[in-house]
Amino acid sequence: MTKIDTSRPETVLPTPSHTVGPFYGHALPFPGGGDIAPVGHPDALSLQGYILDGEGNPLPDAFLELWGPDPDGNLSQVDGSMRRDPASGGFLGRNGVEFTGWGRVQTDAGGHWTARTLRPGARGRNAPYLSVCVFARGLLVHLFTRIYLPGDEAALAADPLLSRVDEARRGTLIAEDQGNGTYRFDIRLQGEGETVFLEFQ
């Protein structure tokens, strides 16, 4: 963006760039944003992790959005991820019945996030994965990545995207199985162990 100096019309001065947030964290999160799986669903799994800066410090004011297909690999066409109170306009949370495949979670004071969802099914030649969009302070543009779940090594090895990622960095896209239906996925924004981020053109 440029600013025109009207006292000297021939002069064009650059204006400073602006980073994302932390203002996005005030209005965008909503109650139940991480409860992607319907409450009490027997196949729900828990995803959790930290969002870390280049020095390994957790970010307490970041958030991420998650999208994923249902266990059969179908993308949900169901509304209901965010419901508003018609009187106040405030968020009511989810309807708690349909699986919408979408969620939005904010990190807590320790930089930790958590979400409950269903294990995504495979789509096409891809191994099952969840799409992730990361918003954090200091980012000019949000970042995209994926969370692959372990358990089907043949599918992971054949995945078109994973097979193009350097083997030393491939693990930054695969969650760690912590047992009892819980998976850990840390997102490092830069530095050693930086998560692989995707660019869509």
H or E stretch at 174 = none
Judged against a pLDDT cut of 80, whether residue 154 lies above it is answered with yes
Instruction: Name the pLDDT band for 61 (thresholds 50, 70, 90).
Output: confident
Residues above pLDDT 70, as percent of the chain: 78
Judged against a pLDDT cut of 70, whether residue 54 lies above it is answered with yes
Least confident range of 4-13, 96-105, 174-183: 4-13
- Bridge partners, residue 58, by sequence: 52
Q: Which pLDDT score is estimated for 96?
A: 63
Give the predicted TM-score (pTM) of the model.
0.82
Q: Please enumerate, as own/partner, the contacts of 147-151 that have beta carbons within 8 Å and a separation of 24 or more.
A: 147/47, 147/66, 147/173, 147/174, 147/175, 147/183, 147/185, 148/173, 148/174, 148/175, 149/45, 149/119, 149/120, 149/174, 149/175, 149/177, 149/183, 150/174, 150/175, 150/176, 150/177, 150/183, 151/177
Tell me the H-state helices in 28-163.
153-158
Segment 18-36 mean pLDDT: 67
Judged against a pLDDT cut of 90, whether residue 105 lies above it is answered with yes
Q: Which residue has the higher pLDDT, 17 or 129?
A: 129
